[in-house]
Structures are given as C-alpha cells and as structure tokens.
Amino acid sequence: MKKLFVSVLATALSLSAVCSPVSCAKAENSEKTLKIMPVGDSITDGYWEQGGYRKYMSYQFSQRGFNFIDLVGPKGADSETFDYNGQQVSYDGNYAGYSGYAIQYIEGTETRQGILETLQDGDYIKTFKPDIVLLQIGTNDILSAYNEGITDRLENLVTYILNEMDNPESTVYISTIPDIDVKEVESWLWAYGEVKWNSSLDEFTKIVQGYVDSYNASIPLLVEKMQSDGKNVQFADIHSVVDMKSDLYDGVHPNEQGYEKMGIYWAGLITEKLSRSSNPENQDTTKPSEPSDEMSFNVADLVSLSNYLLGRKDHGITAEKASAYDLTKDGKLSVADLVQMRKACISSHYTAIPYEQ
C-alpha cells in the first residue's frame, strides 16, 4: 500500500534514528490533519448513549497523543463532553450517523431513508473531505426484511464514497454489524409478515440470525473483491466485538459497555494504520495474519465453516476441526477465520469459493 501521509521534511529530519511505529506515526503526522468520518445508522448515531462509540474512540486518540485526528461530518460538534472513569472528558463529536436509515432508500414493507441518498444530497464527502470513512450499515435493512441484494447495495454505497473522495489513497473501512436479539425485538420485525407469523419464535430467530450471518460473511468477501479491483477498502469486524447477551441495550443498539468496546476497536484499527504508514514494511494488521504454509484446507472445509457461521445443522465440525479452524487463535470461530481459510485454500492450490454478486 502506498504511504497515506506525506511527511513534512523538517519533521522527518528531527525524528530520532530509532522510534516505535506509533511514535513515528505521531511525529510524521503531527503537521497533517487526518479526517475521519463515522458513517452509519443509529449505532453510529449513538442511540441510547449520546456520542456512541465515537466518544470512546476520540478519547483513545487523545490518550495516544493523536491530536492531528479530526472527526468530521454534518452532525455533532467539534467539542463535546462526557463522564468517563470519574472525570469529565472532552471529545470530537462530528459524524454522519442517522437513526433508522438503511443502506439506500427502500420502500415496500417499510420505507427507510438511505445513507447513500443522504450523503449524495448533502454532498458530504466532497464537503468534509474525509481521509478515512468508518462505515457500519445494514441493520435496518435486515430489520425491515430487505435482505435480497443487500451486499450489492453496500457495494454501491462504498463505490459512491470512494468516487467522491479527493485523495485516491483515502480509505473506507467496511464493518460487519452486531447480532440482533430477535427474542428481545420480535415486535420490531413485523415486516417479515407470514415468515414471522408462521414460525415459532425459535424458528424465526434462526431465520433472522441467518440473514445477519449471511450479510456479515459477505462483507470480507466484498472487501477482497473490491481490493482486487484496486479499491482502497479495508475490513472491520464490529460483530466480533459486541456480544449480543451482554453488550446490547435493547436487542439491537449497544449499551455503554458495547459502545466502549466499539470505540476501542476502531481506535485500534486506526492506530495500526498509522503504524503501517510510518513503517510500510509492517504487516497489514487490519486483516487476519496470513495462514502458515503448514495449513492446508479444501473447499469442504470452507463449506463446513460457512455452514457453521450460518447456523446450519449440517456443518459437520467436530471439536478437533473447530480447533483447527480457529485460525485467529481467539477461542471462537468467526468470519475472520473464514477469510484466513479461504486464503489458505488459495495458497494450497485449491479452488476457492468465488464471490458472487
């Protein structure tokens, strides 16, 4: 990847001969503002918790000394405050998050305003010129049963954002979404109609969860496809951060603990990006580490893991296989493991499952 930030010569000459990647990044970027635009629905907006994940992310930046980072967008203020760990903390509150919005305008079972049209109508990408967009969207599409073509709509939105960015090195992070606690928000899901009424609660829960899993599984494949087309996109996995049982306030929106986890996660991704920009030889840690040469998987393994992530009974994963499939070594199976496995298949000369639009 080309270097995102151009170092100022005077700053570069003043750097110590030896410095950590993060300290180098701070020094190199101290004279260039990095603009970050959080984009999404009510989870980005901060439903139930003013400032949402953004206040925790901003706080993390300040703790790292990243004073060159500027959150931008049509909503919020440059300086807002919240109580954190017994003290009042200031944070940058600008963003572009809209409660109830879908990926794009949709009507039928329910009418949802779209993030795509909102960005277009306000010309917000051109106006605020973000270097990085943090995009998390799609929950409302699933709540309203607009599942068909959801990843195509996402790709269309990301393509628009990239085309509007002035700097070709600007990046869009495309994130997965948290799980939906169907038993908690069953009454919200009336758009599913007969599918809902003709199913038991357990059956309906599995149906909706299947749509969430399918959408989340499609995102790293979309990222890989767009990267192969030369698009500057990266994968983010918020789904792996927010636990449905402990981190949701109402079955959809994170509680304070969930938002804090999200903010720390996003700040970590940006910190890694800054580290790589100052040290281009570093591994790209926004993606799972490459599988070792000793790992060997085939299409059957890909299908088994995919079925497991989609909640299908015929996944055929034994305890032994589960251990082998845990390529990220975090004690659980996730989309990140699926991405690594796919790469292992390619490196082992097996035919990988293609991305289909």
Q: Per-residue pLDDT tens for 144-167?
A: 999 999 999 999 999 999 999 988
Residue 335: pLDDT over 80:
no
Quote the CA–CA distance of 115 and 96 in Å, as a whole number.
9
Two tokens, residue 81: 């405050």
**pLDDT in the model for residue 94:** 95
Two tokens, residue 189: 């899901």
353 confidence band (pLDDT: 50, 70, 90): very low
Helix, coil or strand: residue 171: strand
Which element (helix H / strand E) includes 40? Answer: strand 34-40
Residue 219: pLDDT over 80:
yes
pLDDT tens, residue by residue, 260-317: 999 999 999 999 888 776 665 544 444 444 444 445 676 566 666 766 776 655 566 7
Q: Which residue type occupies 344? A: A
**pLDDT in the model for residue 160:** 98
Q: Between these two residues, 287 and 18, which has the higher pLDDT value?
A: 287
First to last CA, the chain: 26
Give residue limits of the domains in the chain. 16-278, 299-347
Residue 172: pLDDT over 70:
yes
**pLDDT in the model for residue 6:** 28
Give CATH for domain 16-278.
Answer: 3.40.50.1110
Residue 345: pLDDT over 90:
no
Quote the CA–CA distance of 61 and 267 in Å, as a whole number.
7
Q: Between these two residues, 11 and 181, which has the higher pLDDT value?
A: 181
**pLDDT in the model for residue 332:** 79
